[in-house]
Amino acid sequence: MTKKEKAQYIIDSLERLYPETPVPLDHSDAYTLLIAVLLSAQCTDARVNIITPFLFAKANKPEDMVKLSVNEIREIIKPCGLSPRKSAAIHELSKIILEKHNGSVPDNFEDLEELPGVGHKTASVVMAQAFNVPAFPVDTHIHRLLTRWGITNGKNVEQTEKDAKKLFPRELWNKLHLQIIFYGREYSPARSPKKEQDFITVKIGTSKAIKELK
């Protein structure tokens, strides 16, 4: 199978499995999405969704967030891990959004990636899901699966993003990255992926990936 044929098989299979792609992180606008994505670093979406209602009940806008101390934010978000760094970033980025962006989350990569705690992947999620700008955020699921499927060499997430964008149609990026995440969670976990479940890897995976299936 060529890479192009593999890409089409992935698109068709995932569209059949996941015709709807709700954003896994609960949010009400670009700001709450940004905070939720920042919190999701090394933390599950399910846990983030448990924590954010407590945080957003106190502050769901940058002007309210800056009224909280970094310690208050930290106490609320502690179960998400990396709380010292994340709480400082949340407080500081809220301040910058107020001072530099008139209280609105910027809708471009350059300004988003200048915010504390916001890397390219976080910016990509916000651009895709809050502003509907085509982006292909690569998380660990996507990096792992596109490597397993021989779409990329698995060198690093930057290379994976480049290869995905080259191969998949731009108008599908925002939906497809979520479909791949859903598939990874349901059918192809990082540990002990199983032959009878992971049908995409069985069909198009690299020989190494197929050998790893139990």
Query: Over the stretch 27-45, which tens digit does the pLDDT of each residue have?
Result: 999 999 999 999 999 999 9
Query: In this structure, are 124 and 54 located in the same domain?
Result: yes
Instruction: Reply yes or no on whether 67 is catalytic.
Output: no
Query: Over the stretch 169-196, which tens digit does the pLDDT of each residue have?
Result: 999 999 999 999 999 999 999 888 899 9
- The CA distances from residue 32 to 15, 55, 71, 101, in Å, are 28, 10, 19, 16
Catalytic residue from among 26, 45, 111, 139: 139
Catalytic residue from among 6, 86, 121, 198: 121
Listing DSSP states for 34-99 in one string gives HHHHHHTTTS-HHHHHHHHHHHHHH-SSHHHHTTS-HHHHHHHHGGGS-HHHHHHHHHHHHHHHHH
Residue where a domain stops, chosen among 101, 129, 157? 129
Tell me the pTM.
0.91
Query: In this structure, are 141 and 125 located in the same domain?
Result: no
Instruction: Reply yes or no on whether 3 is catalytic.
Output: no
174: containing domain: 3-21+137-212
Structurally, the chain folds into a number of domains equal to 2
